[in-house]
C-alpha cells in the first residue's frame, strides 16, 4: 500500500486546481494537498507543510514558476518541482529544466500529470537512496581511515598491482616515511629487490589464486608473522589484498637464544656422559685387575 504524499500546489485559477487534483486521483495517487496563490504563502507552505512534491503554474499575477523554482532550490533542493502551465514556449521550458525543474506538463495535456508525478517521486527516491548510500560509504571510509591511521600495528590494503592503497600508522616507523608518501608505492619502491621479491611472491599468490596466505617475513632486520587475504568487490579475481603483520622480532630472537642455549646444554651433557662412561670403564678395568691380584674391588660401579 502506497503512503500518502503531500503536494504543494501553486495555482491562481480554481478550475485548473480542480483539474489537477482530478488527474492525481485518476493516477491513483494518494495525497493531501496545500493550495497557495502568493509568494508569501508558497514560502510558508514550503517550510511548514514540508511537501513531497510541488506543482506550480508558470504565470501568476505577482509571482511566477521560475521564482518559485529558485526559491525551492534554495530552501529544499530535493523536492521534485513540476511546472503545470497553460502556455510555455520551448525556450522557457528548457530554462526551467536547466534551473532544476523535474518536468513540465501543459494544462491541455493534464493526462500526463499522474505519470509525471510518479516518475518524479521515483527519481527522488533513487536520489535519496544514492545519497544515503554515499553518506554510509563516506562514514565507513572515514572510520576505516581513522582506524588505520591510529593503529600502531601493521595493517594494509593493496591494489591489484601490489601498490599500497590503505596503510596503518605503524608503517611510518618501519619505512621512516609518513603514510601519505607510502600510498601508491609497491615494495620494490621501498625495499631491496631481493627482499621485495620474496615478500611479493605471497602477494601474487593471494591476488592471482584468491587464497589466504600465512607467512613469516623479514624486513629491515625485523621479523613479522603475516596473514594476507583476498578482498573481492565482485566475483572473479580479487580486486584488493588485505593483510596484517605482527612484529615477532623479540620472540624470534628469544627463540634463537633458547635454541642456542639448548644446543650448548646438549653438547655439555654429551661431553659429561661420555666422560662418565670412560670413567666407569676405567674403574671396571681397575676392579678387574685387583680381582686378578686377589684383592677386593676398589670402586662401586653404578
pLDDT greater than 80 at residue 103: yes
Answer yes or no: are the C-beta atoms of 10 and 49 closer than 8 Å. Answer: no
Same domain, 220 and 279: no
Strand partners, 241: 158, 230
Task: Please check whether residue 146 lies inside any domain of the structure.
Answer: no
Same domain, 191 and 211: yes
Over the stretch 198-240, which tens digit does the pLDDT of each residue have? 888 889 999 988 899 998 888 888 888 899 999 887 767 888 9
Domain that residue 96 falls in: 5-138
Average confidence (pLDDT) over 99-105: 90
The torsion angles phi and psi of 189, rounded to 5 degrees, stand at: -80, -15
Question: In a 3-state reduction of DSSP, which class is residue 8?
Answer: strand
Same domain, 20 and 134: yes
Provide the CATH number for the domain around residue 129. Answer: 3.40.50.2300
pLDDT greater than 90 at residue 19: yes
Distance CA 114, CA 119 (A): 9
Say what the pLDDT of residue 1 is: 44
Same domain, 12 and 101: yes
Task: Please check whether residue 187 lies inside any domain of the structure.
Answer: yes
Q: What is the CA radius of gyration of the chain?
A: 41
Task: Please check whether residue 22 lies inside any domain of the structure.
Answer: yes
Same domain, 184 and 119: no
Say what the pLDDT of residue 148 is: 74
pLDDT category of residue 255 using cuts at 50, 70 and 90: low
Provide the CATH number for the domain around residue 167. Answer: 3.30.450.20
C-alpha cell at 170: 605503524
174 or 5, higher pLDDT: 5
Same domain, 39 and 159: no
Closest by Cα among 55, 54, 53, 57 to 88: 57
Amino acid at each position: 500500500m502506497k503512503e500518502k504524499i503531500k503536494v504543494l500546489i501553486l495555482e491562481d485559477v480554481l478550475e485548473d486546481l480542480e483539474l489537477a487534483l482530478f488527474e492525481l486521483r485518476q493516477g491513483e495517487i494518494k495525497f493531501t494537498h496545500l493550495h497557495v496563490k502568493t509568494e508569501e504563502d508558497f514560502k510558508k507552505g514550503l517550510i511548514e507543510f514540508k511537501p513531497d512534491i510541488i506543482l506550480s503554474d508558470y504565470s501568476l499575477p505577482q509571482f511566477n514558476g521560475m521564482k518559485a523554482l529558485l526559491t525551492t532550490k534554495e530552501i529544499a533542493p530535493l523536492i521534485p518541482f513540476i511546472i503545470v502551465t497553460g502556455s510555455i514556449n520551448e525556450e522557457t521550458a528548457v530554462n526551467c529544466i536547466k534551473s532544476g525543474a523535474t518536468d513540465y506538463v501543459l494544462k491541455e495535456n493534464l493526462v500526463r500529470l499522474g505519470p509525471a508525478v510518479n516518475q518524479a517521486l521515483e527519481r527522488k527516491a533513487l536520489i535519496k537512496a544514492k545519497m544515503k548510500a554515499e553518506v554510509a560509504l563516506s562514514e565507513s571510509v572515514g572510520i576505516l581511515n581513522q582506524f588505520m591511521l591510529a593503529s600502531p600495528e601493521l595493517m594494509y590494503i593493496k591494489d591489484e598491482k601490489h601498490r599500497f592503497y590503505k596503510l596503518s600508522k605503524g608503517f611510518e616507523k618501519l619505512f621512516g616515511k609518513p603514510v601519505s608518501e607510502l600510498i601508491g608505492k609497491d615494495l620494490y619502491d621501498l625495499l631491496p629487490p631481493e627482499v621485495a621479491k620474496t615478500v611479493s611472491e605471497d602477494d601474487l599468490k593471494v591476488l592471482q589464486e584468491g587464497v589466504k596466505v600465512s607467512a613469516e617475513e623479514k624486513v629491515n632486520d625485523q621479523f613479522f608473522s603475516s596473514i594476507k587475504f583476498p578482498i573481492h568487490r565482485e566475483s572473479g579475481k580479487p580486486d584488493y589484498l588485505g593483510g596484517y603483520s605482527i612484529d615477532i622480532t623479540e620472540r624470534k630472537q628469544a627463540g634463537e637464544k633458547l635454541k642456542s642455549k639448548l644446543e650448548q646444554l646438549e653438547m655439555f651433557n654429551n661431553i659429561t656422559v661420555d666422560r662418565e662412561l670412560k670413567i666407569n670403564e676405567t674403574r671396571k678395568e681397575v676392579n678387574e685387575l685387583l680381582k686378578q691380584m686377589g684383592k677386593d674391588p676398589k670402586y662401586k660401579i653404578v
